[in-house]
Chain A
Amino acid sequence: MESLVLSSQQDDVDNLKRHLGMPKFGYQDISASLALDKAVQRWPLLSELSVVAHLNSALDSVSLENTSAAVASRRPA
């Protein structure tokens, strides 16, 4: 079961965050995200589903913003 093994790369990043004393330090693994993009682009069905998923999450965030705006507008000045 591979999932029980912590990847050494993630371990390194966590060690670096601790060493710098910056636990909230944002780290983006660019090579991993490029590999993910390639994986999605390789298969037309995965590409299409990925576009749909992005659209849905964008719509979700817009509706969330609208809800919070509506809540804010109801607050007394």
Chain B
Amino acid sequence: MKQLVLRGVRGGIGATSLLAGLGIALHEQGERVLLVDLSPDNMLRLHFNVDVAHAAGWARAQLKAAPWHETALELLPDLHLLPYGELGGAEISRIEGQLCADSTCWAHRCGLVAHNYDWVLFDLPQRLPGHRAVVSEANRADVLIDLATPDPGCHVLLQQRPRPDADLLLINRFNPASQLQRDLLMLWRSQPKSNRQPHLIHEDEALPEALAHKLPIGHYAPKSLAASDLRSLALWCLAQRAKC
């Protein structure tokens, strides 16, 4: 079992949508996948036709000292989703405190379910260091992918070199007609310290449309450019597994 994290350089760049799409793409390759929503926004479930009113999740169970794994939802055979749950601000702070106190919490939980899955995919919040322990130096996930969009804001943030180093830079919403995006891509490809080429997900209206239909892109528009890019990313993940 391998843990994978998509680490958005900043918020609002489509990390949750891409993680849902990557989960489907890996599942289509015959992999057993668990998607874990570590973000209090609790948005990942909406890509899989879960009711907006569905309030259960691992964090809600943890507050009640109930079994966290019983909140998992079976989306398809061998494709499971663990929602965060609907929590208020004070409750989120309590969970954050508990995760800070036990930074190996998710590593331990992954160990418990390791025999059931080939991949555990984590959706992270932008802040909350306790919730983000799976990308800390000490507990780094097996596959860590940095996500950016080709805009100057992400360029500034990438210059600060997020730690720990990622295995791949994934670029979302690439529009080859944009001069600025082409320039940024050329610059990112020339970075002397980057040991591999960035991967691209092309700008595709089908991605927001898929969420509006409460479906992952691979099911809503399997022939779209973005779905095709995600299938290629899934193949890269399978190749990467052999190395880690």
Contacts and interface: CB of A to CB of B under 8 A. Distances in A.
A and B assemble together: yes
A43 B180 contact: yes
B183 A1 contact: no
A35 B198 contact: no
A2 interface: yes
Given A36-B186, A43-B183, A2 B156 contact: no
Interface in A37-56: 39-40, 42-43, 45-46, 49, 52-53
Given A46-B152, A46-B155, A49-B159, A1 B229 contact: yes
A42 B198 CA distance: 22
Would you call the interface of chain B mostly helix, strand, loop, or mixed? Answer: helix
Interface residues of B, number: 21
B199 A39 contact: no
Nearest to A39: B183
A47 to B, nearest CB: 11
A39 B187 contact: yes
Contacts of A4: 232, 236
Contacts of B180: 43
Interface in B216-241: 229, 232-233, 236
Contacts of A73: none
Given A39-B187, A46-B187, A1 B200 contact: yes
A40 B185 CA distance: 11
B195 interface: no
Nearest to B191: A53
B152 A43 contact: yes
Contacts of A53: 159
Nearest to A49: B159
Contacts of B179: 42
Interface of B: 152, 155-156, 159, 179-180, 182-184, 186-187, 190, 196-200, 229, 232-233, 236
